Structure 1
Amino acid sequence: MVFMYFPSKKSVIFGGLMWGGLTIGLIAVISEMDWVGTVIISISLVFWGWVWFSTGYKIDENFLVIKSGPIKAKIPIKEITKIYKTRNPVSSAALSLDRLAIVFGKNYDEVIISPVDEDKFINELRKINSKIIVAK
């Protein structure tokens, strides 16, 4: 049974902007005694914390399981055709701009992630599917 977990890289700049922005917003609405704003920003902080602390990638048997907050995807590793580095800022299950794009399926679907140990992550996937092309 293969089971490996790879947490997401976490960019200090990205995290600082999100945590800092929400914290400043919370301080502002509390100081204005805006209770509706306080509740909304507090919920946003909890949601962001859920995403920040849960984003990661699991190789479980023959599947790559991607989790980020409430979002979960399960990709058959045998369907992965290509992996390449990207800095695409599109919203994804990645907490850093140092990312990997994974191409899979018959329609060449793509998901973007940011595992801390990219080389080990790719090697583990290739142990299950040696046909994965790793592009620079």
Structure 2
Amino acid sequence: MKKVFPSKVDKFIPILYWATSIPAIIIGVREKDWVIFAIIIAVFILIMYLLYDTNYTITKGNLKVHSGFVVNKNISISTIKSIKKTDSILSAPAASLTDRIEVFYEKSKSIVISPKDIQGFVDELLKLNPEIIVEN
């Protein structure tokens, strides 16, 4: 059994990036500085890649958290202690800033993620480890 849960992607993230990049793009084009233009486009492609290549895979005994080439973490589902909703905006393999959960595992480790289908994700984990405490 393998179930993949894509990360929820907030629609305003690409819009925010473009809105903040427009002044640099205008300056780059006006000054014919194609390096600035190329850098902005490259950064945009990188951000989109990381946003849309973020997912969480549940296999028989593991939760794999994947975000592009930056994060590739395997967590044994048997070590997951609890899951709770969080408003943390700290950097995390989560493409949403609004719908995030924090997964606590082992003795004192945690990871913030944002599956598109939070309830389905939690239900799948509970099937494999019914001792997980789910906090609201």
- The alignment's TM-score, normalised by the length of structure 2, stands at 0.88
Residue 69 (structure 1) shift = 1.9
Contact kept, 8 Å, 1:65 with 1:72, in 2: the verdict is: yes
Query: 1:36 is paired with a residue of what secondary structure?
Result: helix
Query: 1:91 is paired with a residue of what secondary structure?
Result: coil
Percent identical pairs in the alignment equals 32
Counterpart in the other structure of 2:93: 93
1:103-127 CA-to-partner distances (Å, cap 9, x unmatched) read: 0112x11100111111110010011
Query: 2:66 is paired with a residue of what secondary structure?
Result: strand
Counterpart in the other structure of 2:40: 41
Counterpart in the other structure of 1:77: 77
Contact kept, 8 Å, 2:84 with 2:134, in 1: the verdict is: yes
Aligned-partner residue type, residue 64 of structure 1: L
Mark the CA change 1:119 to 1:51 in structure 2 (over 3 Å): closer, same or farther.
Answer: same
1:32-74 CA-to-partner distances (Å, cap 9, x unmatched) read: 3212212321221121121121011111221111111212111
Mark the CA change 1:60 to 1:20 in structure 2 (over 3 Å): closer, same or farther.
Answer: farther
Aligned-partner residue type, residue 63 of structure 1: N
2: distance between equivalents of 1:55 and 1:31? Answer: 36
**Structure 2 unaligned blocks of 5 or more:** none
Contact kept, 8 Å, 1:47 with 1:69, in 2: the verdict is: no
Aligned-partner residue type, residue 66 of structure 2: K
How many aligned positions are there?
A: 134
Mark the CA change 1:69 to 1:36 in structure 2 (over 3 Å): closer, same or farther.
Answer: same
Contact kept, 8 Å, 2:55 with 2:115, in 1: the verdict is: yes
1: distance between equivalents of 2:9 and 2:23? Answer: 20
Q: Which runs of 4+ in 1 moved over 4 A?
A: none
Structure 1 vs Structure 2 CA RMSD: 1.7
1: distance between equivalents of 2:21 and 2:78? Answer: 40
**Structure 1 unaligned blocks of 5 or more:** none
Mark the CA change 1:19 to 1:75 in structure 2 (over 3 Å): closer, same or farther.
Answer: farther
